[in-house]
Chains A and B, each alone.
Chain A
């Protein structure tokens, strides 16, 4: 058992492909559960604050705006058919299943994914990554794993929070603009979605978190060529993350609503 962990930790030797990075992260997390001191809670907490908590205001603003937009757009069309009462259903379902996870993930890519890629890239250029290796400290364990765990924890939390803020946006439009009673909005918005709608959204966020942090760390750790390389890595981290998030979202949506 121990042997397999250690072979995972050093998979590929000095090479670092995207697949090897994932293997080593998995290895360190499994190893961390068996050996105290491998995963340092204070480092994970610090990353939770930097990557997650500090991104909440921006994610909330976007979610609130999306709640406004969904309610305003649907009120025009549904109103024509006399189906105003379905607006809370539409807002809550859209947020939970699709827009909440997707938009919060995209905000986190732009804010935290790019920051991680730039930070690790700058550390590589400044020989800090090499210094870690020479001190017999694995950069994957010390730099990548805390960020990985932090985002896997924080993205679902941020999405739930974002969904709630988005629902508030929808509520504001429905009650203040359309005169819908608050109790009616809350009842419809809470009753219509099933538990699976929330879970399917949260499964998506976990996949998105994995995509964001592994791509950002991979790009950062593979920077070559100074400041220009850092810029390229940051751009690549954002572009590839958004691309793969949308591809993963398409596949997961297909799986959740047509296969499972």
Chain B
């Protein structure tokens, strides 16, 4: 057997997969050839080294973490459903604004709420409007340092819906991830009309109270 042929059989020899006659021929060659013998030893060393490669333990209970992640996802989906429904209502009211009032609304502009950083806070936007309006788009822009609970990487959310007259509430489950103030922007569009609001999120010390709300008053 030549050295080249031996190299072809080396792996099968290591794994014990050679036919008896071939295995005997390999063994005879190895007994006479120092270079091939060294090659076999190197291959055995590598196999042994691979078998001994350590696996560091995980940093926590993976099943528990997965179950928690699943629960968070389910919760976020439910919140998102509620959010979409609330957004529909909001759009209806705001559409009334958009249709009826082309002046600068005194309520338009910037409002501020205090929120506890790094925990979900419900921020409610309440809108009143006098008439129904269709095809209104609401866009919420989430700045760096703020996230919507369950959607850590979502920087913009947009809905298109029909608005009804009356009082409408949009609850935004926000988490302030910053120790400095951030501003959330909401935009309402209907046809050529557009209204923008900014909601400043001011960090505060943790309090035992629940959600916070921002109320927008009635339209013109």
- Please say whether chains A and B are actual partners in one complex: no
Binding site for A on B (CB under 8 A): none
